[in-house]
Copies of this chain bind each other. A is one copy, B any other.
Amino acid sequence: MTTTTKELRDQVLAARAASRELARTSTAVKDQALANIAKELTAREKELVEANRLDYEEGKSTGLSETLLDRLLLTPDRLRELSRDVLSIAGLPDPVGETFDMRTMPNGLQIGKRRVPLGVIGAVYESRPNVTIDISALCLKSGNGVVLRGGKEAIRSNLALARLVQEAIDRAGGPANAVQFVESTDRALVEEMLHMRGLIDLLIPRGGDEFIRYVAETATIPVVTGGVGVCHTYVDLTADMDNAVAIAYNAKVQRPSVCNALDTLLVHSEIATRYLPQIGRAWGEAGVEMRCDERAYEILQEVTGARVVRAKDSDWGKEFLSLVASVRVVDGIQEAMSHIETHGSGHSEAIITEDYSLANTFLEQVDAAAVFVNASTRFTDGGQFGLGAEVGISTQKMHARGPMGLKELTSYKWIILGKGHIRP
């Protein structure tokens, strides 16, 4: 089925009209809709896995990369996890209507803020079908309409999921039209969405580096960009060795295809001969290829089982999304932070240290959405940060930074209560 410009516009207008109703829908109805979604995600497991199998097989036959295939896959386990995420969103407090910062000015005027939905969110994303659920659920709870445009490679999975969401809202007595899924995968429609000023209040693009750059340079509607994570972990001289090995291993190996996985390991020169062989052996067993600067190469090439090559210039500041890491030996925190400033994407950066002052310096001076001390960058995630889920991870500073949950999908209005106040 092909969506035309006219149909896209109609869908956006339908989401817009429904969003006005959703903005005033009670928390109880919204939570019931979420409970329905959670239930159906497991109840319709067979149907969903089957739709996904067709996408997956087509992806495989058209040569989709392992990374993209992994992102595309829906298993019963992943569906159960998704279902739990949706339930946890239902359990979070409703952000809409919260009144805060209320105070009485010297002239007796009461002034405060009341939280309101943004309006209509546009989401343009690639292979991961779970995004359809995460974004729908967060928009629903935060009272926003949403226009979803998923990737071609997940079209059957997405259609099945979007239908499930609409039916779940409808059964709860909410405005099902608030969630619209654009069936066409024609790229021209994305370009149109990027210029729908006054119709789409915020666009969230999720995808690779190139796609995000295209959106950022093209859009004339408000956009929150992010998702591209070139993540560094710096192991200082003062690191606890066991922590440093466990964290770098986890950050690279636990799920290499995602944005918060480690890309570059920076190691203090005075600890390199002790630390690198340990992480080199562990990574080697896990199949991690290490692209090393000269000093790291000299140490690691001696390590049995380590898969070592010399790094090219393009291996710094690169998001690998696979079992590859670049490794560099530095002479201290200043060199590490300057490497991060040059090559980081402002996503997630970590230091491993037992030194109080160094930890503070890193927290203060590194400019990224998430700055870690003694923890794996894999924690940068809406669920892990207590937001229930995320519509995306912002690497810009405007509006929201890092994982975006319910609050990040809202705005506020000032409310001013007077007793006949006039300005002198």
Contacts and interface: CB of A to CB of B under 8 A. Distances in A.
A413 B402 contact: yes
A70 interface: no
Please classify how large the interface on chain A is, using the bins under 10, 10 to 19, 20 to 34, 35 or more.
35 or more
Interface in A196-245: 197, 201-202, 216-220, 222, 240, 242-243
A111 B397 CA distance: 18
Number of copies: 2
B220 A372 contact: no
A334 interface: no
25 contacts: A24-B364, A103-B386, A111-B386, A116-B397, A118-B397, A118-B398, A119-B397, A202-B397, A202-B398, A220-B220, A243-B419, A247-B420, A247-B422, A250-B423, A251-B422, A359-B417, A371-B415, A372-B416, A372-B418, A375-B419, A376-B423, A379-B418, A385-B414, A399-B399, A401-B413
Contacts of A420: 240, 242-243, 246-247, 374-375
B385 A111 contact: yes
Nearest to A222: B398
Interface of A: 24, 103, 105, 109, 111, 114, 116, 118-119, 197, 201-202, 216-220, 222, 240, 242-243, 246-247, 249-251, 254, 359, 363-365, 367-376, 378-380, 384-386, 396-399, 401-403, 411-423
A369 B414 contact: yes
